Amino acid sequence: MNAYKRYERISVILKILTENPNKLFNLNYFMDLFNVAKSTASEDIDILKSILEKFGLGDIKTVAGAGGGIKYIPINNIDNFHEFMIDICRKLEDPKRIIPGGFLYTADIIYSPQYANKIGEILSYPFQEKDVDAVVTVETKGIPIAMMCARALNVPLVIIRQDNRVTEGSSVSINYVSGSQKQIKAMSLSRRSLERNSKVVLIDDFMKAGGTIKGMIELMNEFDAEVLGAGVMIATKEPEVKVVKNYFSIFTLVEMNEDKETIKMEISDWLMYNMHKNGNNS
């Protein structure tokens, strides 16, 4: 009866879903694609869901109702990323990463597509079930991980510029104080980049006192945007009191000593809590 075998249908559905994380597909789409009945398509999806579960490769969620369908959730269990994060944490402790001036070299990690993809997915985790309109970052280093986070959430990326080199029409600029360096800087965003009243997630690669995130929040206010939260890859332990509250990080930079050439990096409390919460020690 069916022109396509089950393993063919399942493979193609998987390819389409995983290439479009969080995008809703009506069941009719797959029924038409393979010329199969609703019951067959549903069965295919159920089988696929159990495969993904079994191998810790994400999840398929069903959204009920007329406008409903199915969508792929890339990170349903953060524990599946445990080993990866321990690995990155160790890599980040390499003393060769210390750059004079108290900077940490991370470009080899955050510009690696495979790593950036996983880091982006982890940063998307708290927002998987939320109604997000856009992921917002500020140039330059956070862009790759913010892009992958936007991909995992199936929403556009918005890039704030750090100067007035904006060639995207009229823009809104704000000044902000870089918390740790006490420097006054500017950031700008073109008017048409973000619709008013959008729900946004802020992403950056590194945070010390939180001045940049605070500036981003202020700029978002100018767009009447609602900030659902802020995620950074690395936050420093010091200063313990940050100028922003609603943020989480994947890693905590506990200490970096230029003279002794030592770096102490840890999995953040936020991540430890979420892994613990799932009660899985794998």
What residue ranges bind a copy of itself (CB under 8 A)?
6-8, 10-12, 14-15, 18-20, 23, 47-48, 51-52, 54-55, 57, 99-101, 103, 105, 107-108, 111-114, 116-117, 139-141, 143-144, 147-148, 150-151, 154-159, 161-162, 165, 167-169, 190, 192-193
| Closest distance to a copy of itself from the beta carbon of 148 (Å) | 8
**CB 120, min distance to a copy of itself, A:** 9
Query: Nearest approach, Cβ of 244 to a copy of itself (angstroms)?
Result: 21
Q: 51 or 272, CB closer to a copy of itself?
A: 51
Residue located via tokens 């510009």: 111
Question: Shortest gap between Cβ of 36 and a copy of itself (angstroms)?
Answer: 15
Give, in order, the Cα–Cα distances in Å from 277 to each of 16, 79, 269. 31, 10, 12
Task: With CA atoms as reference, report the closest residue to 79 among 110, 116, 126, 122.
Answer: 122
Residue number, 124 or 249, with CB nearest to a copy of itself: 124
We find the least distance from the C-beta atom of residue 277 to a copy of itself, in angstroms, to be 25
Cβ nearer to a copy of itself, comparing 105 with 273: 105
Query: Of 10 and 172, which CB lies nearer to a copy of itself in the complex structure?
Result: 10
User: Which residue, 34 or 247, is less far from a copy of itself as judged by CB?
Assistant: 34
Cβ 121 to a copy of itself shortest distance, Å = 10
Closest CB to a copy of itself among residues 150, 220:
150
Q: Given the complex with a copy of itself, which of 112 and 262 has the nearer CB atom?
A: 112
Provide the minimum distance between the beta carbon of 249 and a copy of itself in the complex, in angstroms, as a whole number. 19
